[in-house]
A and B are shown apart, each in its own frame.
Chain A
Amino acid sequence: MPDLKELYEAVVSGNAKATQAITQKALADGVDPLKLVNEYMVPAMDEVGRRFEANEYFVPELLISARAMKASLEIIRPILTARGDKPVGRVAIGTVKGDLHDIGKNLVASLLEGGGFEVIDLGVNVSPEKFIETVNSRQANIIAMSALLTTTMPSMKTTIDALKQAGVRDKVKVLIGGAPITQKYADEIGADGYSENAVGAVALAKKAVAAA
């Protein structure tokens, strides 16, 4: 049986080969996959997030840690799905229509996944219709939108209005973020939450599902 602390270390140091190998061995030895997620991977990504906020880790370090975590989750997820385990929440995340910037969105998506959420990453230039479709077809209960430009921010309001039109606004919590976004703007357009950083976004998402 591998020392599971090494799984934590492998995520924090961004070693995807090690996370894969340790996960496979642990599962073969009968370790509960949910234990691997909740006791090792979630705390590891919490630590990665903490280091990022403390300016010890930067985008490259966060991305390789996320890659290491995903390598393990790819093995674990089918097992959890097969036995009917539900994620903490289901987030549809994307950069809004007209905007192709995605680094920030990718960081938030990785931390959310590391926090136990199922993340449906819709990519960039995402239309309101695509967000709505994810609510209907994949039962997303959180919509997370990102924009980097003042000129694409209005797509956030358009999306919230479209959610109302489609009759699904009350089925989801809408969280927004990005460089030009402010709490004031979030309040103006009727978003449920705004975070100025990636770690804060995860905390918001956890609060959102707890309140639901």
Chain B
Amino acid sequence: MTSRERVLAHLEGRPVDRLPLMPITMMFAAVQTGARYRDYCTDYRVLVEGQIRTAEAFGFDYVNTMSDPAREAADCGAPVEYFESQPVALIEDQALLADKTKLASLKIPDPLGGGRMHNGIKALALFKERVGKDKIIEGWIEGPIAEGADLRGINTLMMDFFDDPPFVHDLFAFVIELELRFAREQLKAGADVIGVGDAAASLVGPDIYHEFVWPYEKKLVDGIHALGGKVRLHICGHTRRILEGMGKLGCDIVDLDSMAPISEARQKMGPHTILLGNLNPVSVLRNGNPADVTAAITECHQQAGTPFIVGAGCEVPRDTPPENLRALCAYAHTHQP
């Protein structure tokens, strides 16, 4: 089976030859070509080269365009900081929507308008050209609370849930429209799967998640499906309290961080959701040795049951020893779901 055939079959519940392998790499991928991370974030050709080199060296079944959380926000006009060796980041004390009233006049930027989103889309088109026959191509968008936090300032947004609930709803509705437009262009350019990153969702409790976040995540998932794409949801951090809600979104793949017990996720999400993860990327993948990694991913697979995709709990850290990542990949290469 090609990687592409393997993942598509697994997504459709058909038999596969071995476990699919889809760990998230960002800075690690840049290291494979010696590229500056700043260039990985801003030049789609550097990103594509890094991802392909990594996928081929380690036997991944996919490539992805995630480099940092600030593409959409930068195109909206939010001040961002570019680092030499770190992801592009939002400058919170200059948040675009520090003044709430600005939301009313904020226009959704054109994903093909020559900005950072457009750069991401060019990466997808180049992926399709170079590896589209063999690998699954994964694009990326920010989820409602993540993007909302990027535009409003995360500390302020956290208090907006109490101070101004209608504003939060308006903000998240704006974000969904922005992200679905971005997702549509990504799918047109060649993405098969859209990754949805909604990290800040792990900072709120189940009440706020259900009232404010879940309805908009659901709109995103339904929208991407209607456009013909598959959805991989990734919420970094402690998601134990919101696993049931995450399971009800209808995502094709739910990618869990190491703090969420994957056995509980299986219990709460049922037998059809594909789970991905979730060994600790720092204490095990980076700081451990190959035997530790093998033991951890074996345990994850056992706890997760089927269907399952191999990956770490979050991004593979930049200085992960290659032999540790090879141990993770070897598990996928030698095991059935």
Residues on A close to B: CB < 8 A?
14, 55, 57-61, 63-64, 67, 98, 100, 102-103, 106, 123-124, 149-152, 179-180, 182
Contact = CB atoms under 8 A, between A and B. Distances in A.
By Cβ-Cβ distance, the 10 closest A-B pairs, closest first, are: A58-B205, A59-B203, A60-B158, A100-B89, A180-B282, A150-B317, A60-B161, A63-B158, A59-B158, A58-B204
A98 B317 CA distance: 16
B154 A58 contact: no
Contacts of B286: 150
Contacts of B86: 98, 149, 151-152
Contacts of A63: 155, 158-159
B318 A67 contact: no
A55 B92 contact: no
Given A55-B241, A63-B159, A150-B319, A100 B81 contact: yes
B155 A102 contact: yes
A58 B282 contact: no
Given A64-B159, A64-B162, A103 B90 contact: no
B204 A60 contact: yes
A60 B159 contact: yes
A149 B83 CA distance: 13
B2 interface: no
B282 A57 contact: no
Given A14-B162, A98-B86, A180-B282, A151 B27 contact: yes
B91 A100 contact: yes
A86 to B, nearest CB: 29
27 contacts: A14-B162, A55-B241, A57-B205, A58-B203, A58-B205, A58-B208, A59-B158, A60-B158, A60-B203, A60-B205, A61-B205, A64-B159, A64-B162, A98-B83, A100-B89, A100-B91, A100-B92, A103-B154, A106-B155, A123-B93, A149-B86, A150-B286, A150-B319, A151-B27, A152-B86, A182-B282, A182-B287
Contact of A150 (B90, B155, B318): B318
Nearest to B163: A64
A63 B86 CA distance: 28
A123 B92 CA distance: 11
Contacts of A179: 282
Of A14, A57, A124, A150, the most chain B CB neighbours within 10 A belong to A150
Interface of B: 27, 81, 83, 85-86, 89-93, 154-155, 158-159, 161-162, 203-205, 208, 241, 282-283, 286-287, 317-319
Contacts of A103: 154-155, 158, 203
Contact of A60 (B83, B85, B162, B287): B162
A122 to B, nearest CB: 13
A14 B162 CA distance: 9
Contacts of A57: 205
A167 B3 CA distance: 58
B81 A151 contact: no
Of B27, B81, B205, the most chain A CB neighbours within 10 A belong to B205
Given A59-B158, A100-B91, A150 B282 contact: yes
B169 to A, nearest CB: 15
A151 B162 contact: no
Contacts of A152: 86
A96 B208 CA distance: 30
A178 B96 CA distance: 27
A59 B204 contact: yes
A103 B145 CA distance: 15
B205 A102 contact: no
Contacts of B85: 151
B205 A67 contact: no
Given A103-B154, A150-B286, A67 B203 contact: no
Given A100-B89, A182-B283, 5 more contacts: A57-B205, A98-B86, A103-B154, A103-B155, A152-B86
Of B154, B159, B208, B287, the most chain A CB neighbours within 10 A belong to B159
A70 to B, nearest CB: 12
B208 A60 contact: yes
A116 B160 CA distance: 27
A35 B205 CA distance: 33
Contact of A100 (B27, B90, B283): B90
